[in-house]
Structure 1
């Protein structure tokens, strides 16, 4: 089968289209014929060697964790899925090796769910990592009906899901983003605050009694001065800044594969609660160019690679 691989750490130039053997599966995994793959910044951070020590990598490796496709070979113990099922998954394994940028991939059942019925594989592939990250961090921050929530990076891949999920849960959401994304953030359901000088003052004016949750999906200097914005018992959560835990006694975390949470995201998509934005699609052979665009920054929505 065709797959994208890299044999050494480096830029997108190290990616090659190669031939690999068909994937092998254990009893609780299945072979999925790939239709589309969502790209994420963590993919190229791994490829550049930044996550050495955090996760084991076997080279040559196939990158990619997000996938949407069709089950072609269920495992011996995957009663939730049968041949021909359309699925999507955050197919992260304990070792980076056999990723999703291939014609077929071994997917653990615990990482997968039935694909949303109302969207294409290209749109479904854009959801798993970003959608799960948003849902799990908002849940851990205690967001619910009536919560006052500030989301940093509201126009990004994770933040845009975060805004919509928080709104669907009944929260009042304020989102930070650049001026050019003002309309987009408002369309998602948040009140918009522009990055830059005066952000803290503008955020305080929006919510004079403070925020019950401040959720950082942007990193950088997003948490600077945020202590002035917290309501009593307010919680700070971040996927990008450890100060959420060390300075705010809040939450600093990543994301877990979770079939039940993916099923909930699929339900929300089919109910019309979640809008998915794909910036551009590339064929498998042009995956290196897809990563170059992602790494260039300023992409609104997700970059997706299609596999025929």
Structure 2
């Protein structure tokens, strides 16, 4: 039976296990994909603790980790058009992707361009697509200044690159260890910590035109006063808090069209997914700890052998 990395109940890392599961069967509008790579995101470990997206019910346990994958189509479900066995694809799985096989709904699945590796493609459906959706939501004119908190993580590095590609000035908040990375992407680095807002004020004395928050909590609260127009305050890290501060959560499109667009950016050289660490499925626990502990630079990916 194929392997999958799961959590058996809600809680901490002690709930995780590599297990054998039945090979999934695609339903109408679904693809069965042999996974080649799975992106690792903070939402993965948050779901293990019981976190749910708005409108999302409890997961059936044991639940497979993972929210973005790339791979090769094995079977297509009833009514599927535009995809066939053997196609290389990437997208958001129905119920987990740290596995040998995953089900993908065609609505959020795109063909992988030949010029993109499976590892890079697996970094796009959550991290890069979230970054793209947020920058588009802000709708800033060229020359405007946007503050990105959590600029050294998977979504952050994509947001910095996409914003710079649109002619925006980017101020990125990140740890000292990620300073070189943030600056290499074209952003002005501000050291994270309790006094980061003062660092932003030193670079932008009159405040910034927009804030794209990827951290939430105290960081979001400290960043909010830096932007006068709270309609330009968005967050993917503190969705409830940002509303109370007068801003908005990042609105996710979750469409194949967005996946095609971020893939085009990669092919054209405007976006590097910055996969900085890869782990085999057997070491999925290490991959998840790297992200959960906040030590990841760029994007962490689990690679699954054919």
**TM-score, normalization by structure 1:** 0.90
- Correspondence 1:25 to 2:26: yes
Segment of structure 1 superposing worse, 59-68 or 227-236: 227-236
* Counterpart selection for 1:167 from 141, 160, 164: 164
Residue 305 (str. 1) matches residue 302 (str. 2) = yes
Q: Is the 8 A contact 2:92 2:105 kept in 1?
A: no
In 1: Cα distance, 2:193 partner to 2:291 partner = 23
Answer with 149-158 or 55-64: which moved more: 55-64
Task: Give the distance between the partners of 1:185 and 1:161, measured in 2 at CA.
Answer: 11
1:79 aligns to 2:77 (yes or no): no
Q: Does 2:118 align with 1:121?
A: yes
Q: 1:259 aligns with which of 256, 271, 277?
A: 256
More helix by share: 2
The reply to whether residue 190 of structure 1 matches residue 169 of structure 2 is: no
Aligned mates of 1:216, 1:195 — CA distance in 2? 13
SS at match of 1:70: strand
SS at match of 1:221: helix
**Using the alignment, how far apart are the partners of 1:21 and 1:268 within structure 2?**
36
Deviation string for 1:211-243 (max 9, x for gaps)? 221110122322334454224576100112233
CA distance in 2, matches of 1:223, 1:177: 13
1:111–1:259 contact (8 Å) kept in structure 2? yes
Cα deviation code 1:250-305 (max 9, x no counterpart): 21246452211111000000001111222322221222232233222211122211
Contact between 2:7 and 2:61, CA under 8 Å: does it hold in 1? yes
Counterpart in the other structure of 1:244:
242
Cα 1:61–1:233 change in 2 (3 A) is: closer
| Count of aligned pairs between the two proteins | 302
- For structure 2, list consecutive stretches of 5 or more residues without a partner in the other structure: none
Contact 2:38 / 2:68 at 8 angstroms: preserved in 1? yes
Change (3 A) 1:305 1:147: same
- CA shift for structure 1 position 50: 3.5
Q: Which runs of 5+ in 1 are unaligned?
A: none
Residue equivalent to 1:4? 5
1:1-308 equivalence runs, <5 A: 1-51=2-52, 54-91=56-93, 93=94, 98-196=95-193, 198-231=195-228, 235-241=232-238, 242-247=240-245, 249-253=246-250, 255-308=252-305
Deviates more, 1:268-277 or 1:236-245: 236-245
